[in-house]
Amino acid sequence: MANTEGFKGRIRELITQDSQIEFLGSKFDVIAGMINEAKKEEIYQWIKRIINKDIRPIKIASKKRYKNWQINELMTFRHAFRINNNEYRILFVKLKNSFYIEFHLGDHKYYDKIRKELIVKDSV
């Protein structure tokens, strides 16, 4: 569990914002606990590239609601990785021109559920 809190803490440090980000996923702590240091560093570098605007977000034109926002107000970033031949995905969600709201970490079943809520195409 301490390992998971360290992972979340490092992500909070990287995004440097006053608003709290939600860490979501039905098995977030279990999956985060399995990520080795090299893979964590890869994820941190991916986040830095997002912050530096080196990675283009997934933008959806839909006015459908997702929690407190319309989907067209959000930018979503996707990262896939493997641990022991199992596929996992991260969806990192930001409010346009504002703050990061969610960091989703999950297996394919969880990812598919959130992907549908955010209308993120599977081919991305």
53 within a domain of the structure (yes/no):
yes
Q: Compute CA 76 distance to the chain's CA centroid, rounded to the nearest angstrom.
A: 8
Q: What share of the chain is helix, strand, coil (3-state, %, to 5)?
A: 40, 30, 30
pTM above 0.85, yes or no: yes
124 within a domain of the structure (yes/no):
no
Averaged over 108-116, what is the pLDDT?
92
pLDDT at 122 (0 to 100): 55
pLDDT at 123 (0 to 100): 45
123 within a domain of the structure (yes/no):
no
Q: Which of 29, 122, 119 is nearest to 66 (CA)?
A: 119
- Say which range, 2-11, 20-29, 31-40, has the weakest mean pLDDT: 2-11
Residue ranges making up the domain that contains 21: 2-118
| Cβ within 8 Å of residue 58, ≥6 positions away | 75, 76, 77, 78, 120, 121, 124
Total count of domains within the chain: 1
